[in-house]
Amino acid sequence: MFRQLTVIGLGKMGCSLALYYAKSGIKIVGLDVNQTTVDNLNNGVSHLTLPDSDKVLREVLDNKTFEATVDAEYAISTADAIIVIVPLVVDDKYNIDYSIIDSVAVNIGKYIKKGTLVAFETSLPTGTTRNRLKKIILDNSSLGKKDFFVGFSPERVSTNTVFRDLEIYPKIIGGVDSESNKKMEELYTQILPKSKIINLQNSDAAEFTKLMGMIYRDVNIALSNEFAKFAEKAGLDIDEIIQACNTNPFAHVLSPGIGAGGHCLPVYPHFFIKNSKDLGLDPRIAEEARKINNSMPKFSIKKLNSFEELKNKKVLILGLGYREDIKETFLSPTLDLIKELKQFDSTVYIDDYLFSSEEISKYGAVKYDIFSQDEDFDAVIISTYHSKYSNFDFTKLKTKIILDGRNKLDKKLIESSGIKYLGIGK
C-alpha cells in the first residue's frame, strides 16, 4: 500500500493527475519549480481549464490530501512512489533537450529513500527510462540498484477530459525489471481502481505504445489529407465519402484538417523517427506523414487565395490554440496561417475566448469577438473549432468567403446566405 505519492511537474497534465489521485484519498505532494503555481494551488487557485478542477482542488485542500511545494528534498524523501510528468523540450530541428527531466532524475537520486517506486509518465523516446533515467538516479544516489524501482506509464489522457479519461482508458505500464513491474502494477491498481491495467512488463514497450498511438493518428490524418486533396480535384465531397468508407469495420479514416499542433502529432513521431534511424532503419511513412500534415496551413491559404485574392485584405481566424477549448499555442496551425497571411500583407484578426488582446497582439494579430462584434471581413478561416462555435450562426458573418479548416459547417446553409464556402477536400 502506497501512502504518499509525489507528482513532479504540476502543469496541465501533472496538476490534473495530482488532483484526481488526491481525491481517491492517497496523500499527494505536488512538486514544481514554479513558485507562483505552487502558491496559487496551495491557496485554492488552479491554472487548469479542466471542468470541476477548482471544486476538486478546494476539496483536496480541505481534506489535506494535497499540498504543493518547491522543496524537492521534502517532496522526494517522503514519497513511497513518484510520478514524473515534466516536459521534454525540442528545438526547431526536433533535437531533444533532456535537461529538465535529467535534473529531476538527479534530484530523485539525491533524495530517494529505499523502496520507493519512480514512474515516468512524460512521453519519451523508446529506451529512455531504462538506459538514461534509471542510470542518472543510480549515479546520484547512495542506494543500490535493487533498492528502488523504476517504470514507465504513458499518459494518454487529454487536457480537458483528464478526470473522465482516467476512468475509461486502460493504463499501460512497464518496469525496468521484474520487481519494478510488480511495483508499477501495485501503484496503478491502487490509484486507478476503475481502470484496466495492462502490464507490458517492460518500460521500453510502454514508451513505444504512446509513440505508436500518436504516429498511427498522424499517418491516418496525413492519408485523409491526401484523400481530401484528391476529392477536391475530382469534385467530390470528402466527408460524405469518409463516412461511407468507415461503414466497413476495417476502415477508420479520420477527418482531414488545416493542420495539427501541440506535441502529440508534430513532435512525438520524431522520437520514433530518431529511434528507428539509430537502429539503421528508414521510417518513411512516419516522416512523410509529418511533411504532409505540416504543409496543410500553406496549402489551405494557397487554396483560399485562389478564390479570394488576399493581398492587403482583412482576414479573421477562429481559434489560436491548437485544439478546441485549450489555451496552448505550441506549434498551433494558426501561427502558420498568420505567417502565410502576413506574406500577403493581410491584416489578421483572431477570435479566441481563452486569449486576451495583449496575448493575441504578441502574434501580430488583433483580438476580435464574433459574438459581440459585427465587422466586415474579406475572408474568415476556421482553424480551431471551439465548443462555443456550435451556438454561433455563421450565416450572420459579414464576409465574402469562409475557409472551414475543420469541415464543421453545412456548406449548403452557408452558401444560401451568399457566402462562398470552402472546406478541406470540399
Ligand X SMILES: NC(=O)c1ccc[n+]([C@@H]2O[C@H](COP(=O)([O-])OP(=O)(O)OC[C@H]3O[C@@H](n4cnc5c(N)ncnc54)[C@H](O)[C@@H]3O)[C@@H](O)[C@H]2O)c1
- Chain positions contacting ligand X, by CB under 6 A: 8-14, 31-34, 37, 85-88, 100, 103-104, 122-123, 155, 158-159
Pick 5 or 341: Cβ nearer ligand X = 5
- Least separation, in Å, of the C-beta of 278 and ligand X? 20
* 3-state secondary structure at position 28: strand
**Rounded to the nearest whole angstrom, what is the least distance from the CB of residue 163 to ligand X in the complex?**
14
C-alpha cell at 198: 495492462
Q: Quick one: 8 or 221, whose CB is closer to ligand X?
A: 8
Question: Shortest approach of ligand X to residue 201 CB, angstroms?
Answer: 22
Please state the closest distance from residue 328 (CB atom) to ligand X, in A: 7
C-alpha cell at 180: 519494478
Between 13 and 61, CB nearer to ligand X: 13
Q: Which is nearer to ligand X, 329 or 383 (CB)?
A: 329
Give the nearer residue to ligand X in terms of CB position, either 38 or 60. Answer: 38
Quote the distance between the C-alpha of residue 127 and its chain's center. 22
Q: Is the Cβ of residue 9 or residue 266 nearer to ligand X in the bound state?
A: 9
Taking the complex as a whole, how short is the minimal distance between the CB of residue 20 and ligand X, in angstroms? 13
> Under a CB-based contact definition with an 8 Å cutoff, are residues 129 and 162 in contact?
no
Query: Which of 401, 355, 395 minimizes the C-alpha distance to 377?
Result: 401
Bridging pattern class, strands 420-423 and 27-31: unpaired
Alpha-carbon distance values, 205 to 5, 199, 264 (Å): 24, 10, 18
In order of 75, 224, 321, 337, 376, the CA distances from 334 in angstroms are 39, 20, 8, 5, 20
CB of 53 to ligand X, least distance (A): 13
Return d(Cα 114, Cα 107) in angstroms, integer.
15
Closer residue to ligand X, CB minimum distance, 68 or 402 = 68
Q: Whole-angstrom Cα distance, residue 409 to residue 304?
A: 16
Shortest CB 47 distance to ligand X, Å: 8
DSSP H helices in 279-392: 284-294, 296-307, 333-343, 357-361
Residue 154 Cβ vs ligand X, minimum distance, rounded to whole Å: 8
Q: Tell me the C-alpha distance between 263 and 85, whole Å.
A: 14
Q: Which residues of 294-310 are buried (b: 16+ CB within 10 A; e: fewer)?
A: bebbebbbeebbeebeb
Q: Which is nearer to ligand X, 82 or 310 (CB)?
A: 82
Residue nearest to ligand X (CB): 11
Count CB atoms within 10 A of the CB of residue 313: 18
Distance separating alpha carbons of residues 199 and 205, to the nearest angstrom: 10
